[in-house]
Amino acid sequence: MLEVKDLTVEVDRKTILHNVNLAIDAGETHALLGPNGSGKTTLLMAIMGMPRYRIKKGQVLFQGKDITKLSIDERARLGIGLAFQRPPAVRGVKTRQIVELCLGEKNAKKVEELARKLNLAAMLERDVNQGFSGGEIKRSEMLQLLAQNPSFAMFDEPESGVDLDNIAVVGEAINEILQKERIREKKKAGLIVTHTGHILDYVNADRGHVLMEGTIVCEGNPRDLFADIRAHGYEECVKCRRC
């Protein structure tokens, strides 16, 4: 579904990602692991088409189509979604409004139902992310992605700043967005960025990648990778090179 080929990305004239390759098939969920500053968010932003994340080299293919030069909204309309780690507050734009926009006119009535599912019914009339707690921000991002219903969803540190109760709610939402409850005909795919790995206790990832200093240095079973990282730290990933 998504293929990143030899991707080199710079931010503010500084190269952050170097020749990154990644392929995620329909029905798969991948976890992207790595220490702070390794370039995980940069990869997600580049896939989403954020202009500040400039692609110097390489390609992003989605469902076989080269989307490297498409704008953010064109990518979103093709079926790519992103749950931001630190989304901005948008003063004057209500949460209900943005969820309705994501749902489209036909499904706008589902707002309440989705909001209740994420314990956000009371936040619908509040400005998006304005004064939200850490947990509320993450649940709001899940609410928007549920409404958007993307084929390929990316989650940037969905557990950061969230207590255990909220991690469970967020995890459940990710499973729903990615159709994890289905046994057959899984059509959605996902990429979850995690620094702590806690979210993987709630969401089953098929494959893991470790990103260090802008380069994917290791791949494998995400649980095994995390067990190693917990035992030896990220530094060992560079030394190990078992991939």
- Which residue, 11 or 101, is less far from another protein as judged by CB? 101
Cβ atoms 78, 100 nearer than 8 A = no
Q: Nearest distance from residue 219's CB to another protein, in Å?
A: 27
Contact 48, 148 (CB under 8 A): no
Residue closer to another protein (CB basis): 85 or 237: 85
The answer to whether the beta carbons of residues 91 and 131 sit under 8 Å apart is: no
**Using CA atoms, how far apart are residues 163 and 165, in angstroms rounded to an integer?**
6
Q: Please, what is the minimum distance in Å from the beta carbon of residue 128 to another protein?
A: 8
| 77 binding another protein? (CB under 8 A) | yes
Q: Minimum distance from CB of 81 to another protein (Å)?
A: 8
Q: What is the DSSP letter of 203?
A: S
Determine, following the binding rule CB under 8 A, whether residue 208 of this chain makes contact with another protein: no
d(CA 122, CA 115): 8
Least gap, CB of 102 to another protein (angstroms): 5
Measured CA to CA, the distance from residue 193 to residue 233 in angstroms comes to 17
Sole binder of another protein in the list 144, 160, 166, 194 (CB under 8 A): 144
x/- letters, 88..127, toward another protein (CB under 8 A) = x-xxxxx--xx--xx------------------------x
Near another protein by CB under 8 A: residue from 76, 172, 175, 201: 76
Partnered with residue 23 across adjacent β-strands are 3
Residue 152: beta bridge partners? 80, 189
Classify residue 173 by burial, with Cβ atoms within 10 Å: 0-12, 13-18, 19+: buried
- Binding another protein (rule: CB under 8 A), the pick from 82, 115, 167, 212 is 82
CA distance 40 to 197: 13
- 177 contacts another protein (rule: CB under 8 A): no
Residues that bind another protein (CB under 8 A): 48, 50-51, 71-73, 76-77, 81-82, 84, 87-88, 90-94, 97-98, 101-102, 127, 144, 148
